[in-house]
A and B are shown apart, each in its own frame.
Chain A
Amino acid sequence: MAELALALPGQASAPSRSAWILPPLLILAALFFFPLALIARQALGGAEGGALSLNHFATVLTSKMFVDGLRNTLVIALSATAGCLVLGFVLSVFIAFTPFPGSSILARLIDTFIALPTFLVALSFTFIYGSAGMLNESLMEIFHLDLPPVDFLYSQWGVILSEITVYTPFVMRPLLASFSLIEPAQLEVASSLGARPLRIVSRIILPAALPALVAGGSLCLLLTVNEFGIVLFIGAKDVITLPLLIYDKAIQQFDYTTACVIAVVNVGLSLALYSLYRFVVAYFGGRRAGLV
């Protein structure tokens, strides 16, 4: 009966059915494809009235500024993702398999954390680890120091630490969901067979959590590659990532062509990572679950 009901609109002719796709397509075109096309045209030099060419790409992609930006972006994204995976896995195992009062509240708080803006963490880190932050003030007072001894926040490490703090919940959420599917009896039987906790984690829990871990990690990588707020807010010296480079070129130097070239590369990188994410999720069964 449901099939019949769904088939009813199908009685309309093929052209009228295709018309339903037009409104959303127009909205998407206006809001997304058109601006993207403008960026691509600018990057190819078409905005200046000349012929389209890859000259700007060749110039920008071989410049030290771009290479440094790409390297910073990848180093920060990969390091932050690795950190998120390790920290997220450890915390999730702790929350899911070591019952303690308030563990369920803590698990729910993770969702709240995901909802917060990313720059809040950078701001709070300034208060804690900054030159005039709580940690440095305390250490200077205790050890009678003239200069703040902890000085990592305004470096690549500060950005990585902030991103790990912000994006770890993105790994934990799917991990906790996958842990909830592990039968406690499996862990008990493993233990009765002589396995110690570390072996249980590595041989039973980790393989079961691998799809969630890979999916969460891919998502983190995608988000950290495009992270802008944290890098800007930390203001780390010589830590220029691709999004920050685009901002610098477009807003501060009015060099739109260079900004657009970098933006196209950034979009390409993001789409590649997004494809990887979809592939990984689908490979581990996400297609069956309707996730991709």
Chain B
Amino acid sequence: MRAELADVAPAMATPAQRERAGVDAASSGIRFDDVTVAYNDVVVLDSLSLTVKPGEIVALIGPSGSGKTTALRAVAGFVRPLRGTISIGTRDVTNVAPHARNIGMVVQNYALFPHMRAEENVAFGLRARGAPADVIRERVPECLRMVGMASYAKRFPRELSGGQQQRVAIARALAIRPQVLLLDEPLSALDAQIRRSMLDELARLHRDLPSLTVLYVTHDQTEALTLADHIGIMRDGKLVAFGDAQSLYRYPPNRFSAEFLGRANLLPVREVATTTAGMARVRFGADALIARNHHGLPDGGECLLCVRPHDLRLSPCDSIGNVLGGVVKSVQWQGDMQNVELDVAGHALRLTCAPMHAPPAPGAPLAIHFSASEATLIPEHTLRG
């Protein structure tokens, strides 16, 4: 293990970053290859195939019981797949013991060792790997500095706030210079304000350590959208969508993804007819609408039209626009925005806009507009696009 530590040649964006507690030069990706995990014959992760490229942050999101944490625990070695293989870098780690995987892990409740001071917590992994004393002396303060906790080195976990404890937990995970960093809902136990600040911290940390590969499990779409290069959406043990954060948000491949990643208005439409490249005309009742056909749905079929609440407007669009008539059901003021719930031909639609001086009254008729380029067609029945 000493050799392993000595072999680590950090490869960061700048020499200064390389000097700091960096990561493995040959930054490693993670590969799930048809991984299935079952507990007592109940499949909790079903044939997961997924690649996290070196230096990338991939967020797995999904509701409780969707299998996202199981996927992370399988990488860590705490659950053994029934089938399939897991690789870190070029190494198949499916049957490798957790202590020999060279991973850093941060969990929801920090899991700091309560009888150890912050610096001892950070040094734990290095000591476990038999790192020389001078390496420990150098790296522990380095990692604590990186997360802004250098002045708290002598404190016990009970003397730190939740956010501070989580910073120490991150420093502890980074101190061993892991090949990959696994984050299991790391911000869930923090209150909203600290969560936002920690989210910024994590983003900064990854800018400082660009070659660090991160698998981030969360149920919070904001965390995923803020941090992740790619997002995987899970449901019932299956990966139902995977893609870069923006594409997945703008062109969700299925209903579940559209509804889970951000809020979505979904209207059942029919008679898809391709117009120009990537666009299609559809019918919603008697209305003709134009939307992006990103997924190349065939002409003549039925599908869903997805438009985000903030893409609905009360005034006509400049470009190719659509208009729908509806009746206001409710209006909610939320400080920096206003939510308007509408009934459009029996379908509930939500519009989000800046606060209005004279909001429409419930029961009033209202015309809503949206740009064709901000509406997308998604298949109605398939889970994965």
Contact = CB atoms under 8 A, between A and B. Distances in A.
B107 interface: yes
Contacts of A196: 99, 128
Contacts of A188: 76, 78, 98, 105, 107, 111
A17 interface: no
B125 interface: yes
B124 A185 contact: no
B15 interface: no
Contact of A192 (B105, B109, B115): B105
A285 B38 CA distance: 42
A125 to B, nearest CB: 39
A194 interface: yes
A192 B76 contact: yes
B128 A195 contact: yes
Interface string B94-137: 00011111111101110111110000000011001100000000
Contacts of B98: 188, 191-192
B1 interface: yes
Contacts of A63: none
A185 B99 contact: no
B125 A185 contact: no
Interface residues of B, number: 30
A135 B112 CA distance: 49
A204 interface: yes
Contacts of A185: 107-109, 111
Instruction: Classify the interface of chain A: helix, strand, loop or mixed.
Output: helix
B113 A204 contact: yes
A141 interface: no
Contacts of A59: none
Nearest to B114: A208
B107 A189 contact: yes
A38 B109 CA distance: 59
Contact of B124 (A183, A190, A207, A208): A190
Interface residues of A, number: 17
B176 interface: yes
Contacts of B80: none
Nearest to A189: B111
| Most chain A CB within a 10 A radius of its CB, from B107, B112, B172, B182 | B107
Nearest to A190: B124
Nearest to A191: B98
A199 interface: yes
A190 B111 CA distance: 9
A203 B113 CA distance: 9
Contacts of B109: 183, 185
B59 to A, nearest CB: 19
A208 B114 CA distance: 8
Interface string B159-181: 00000000001001100100000
B78 to A, nearest CB: 6
A183 B110 CA distance: 10
Given A188-B76, A189-B107, A194 B115 contact: no
Interface in A147-202: 183, 185-186, 188-196, 199
A219 B103 CA distance: 43
Given A204-B113, A207-B115, A192 B103 contact: yes
Contact of B111 (A186, A194, A195, A207): A186
A193 B107 contact: no
A203 B121 CA distance: 11
B104 A192 contact: yes
Interface in B48-99: 76-78, 97-99
A195 B103 CA distance: 12
A245 B103 CA distance: 62
Given A183-B111, A208-B115, A189 B176 contact: no
B113 A186 contact: yes
A55 to B, nearest CB: 52
Contacts of A204: 113
Given A203-B124, A208-B115, A194 B1 contact: yes
A245 to B, nearest CB: 43
A204 B111 CA distance: 11
Interface in A205-244: 207-208
Given A199-B128, A203-B124, A191 B111 contact: no
A136 to B, nearest CB: 44
Contacts of A195: 99, 124-125, 128
A192 B99 contact: yes
Given A203-B124, A208-B115, A194 B76 contact: no
Given A188-B98, A190-B128, A204-B113, 12 more contacts: A183-B109, A185-B107, A186-B113, A188-B105, A188-B111, A189-B107, A189-B172, A191-B77, A193-B104, A193-B176, A194-B176, A207-B113
11 contacts: A183-B111, A188-B107, A189-B169, A191-B77, A191-B78, A191-B98, A192-B99, A192-B104, A193-B128, A194-B1, A207-B115
Interface of B: 1, 76-78, 97-105, 107-109, 111-115, 124-125, 128-129, 169, 172-173, 176, 182
User: 6 tightest A-B contacts by CB?
Assistant: A193-B125, A185-B111, A195-B128, A192-B105, A194-B128, A191-B98
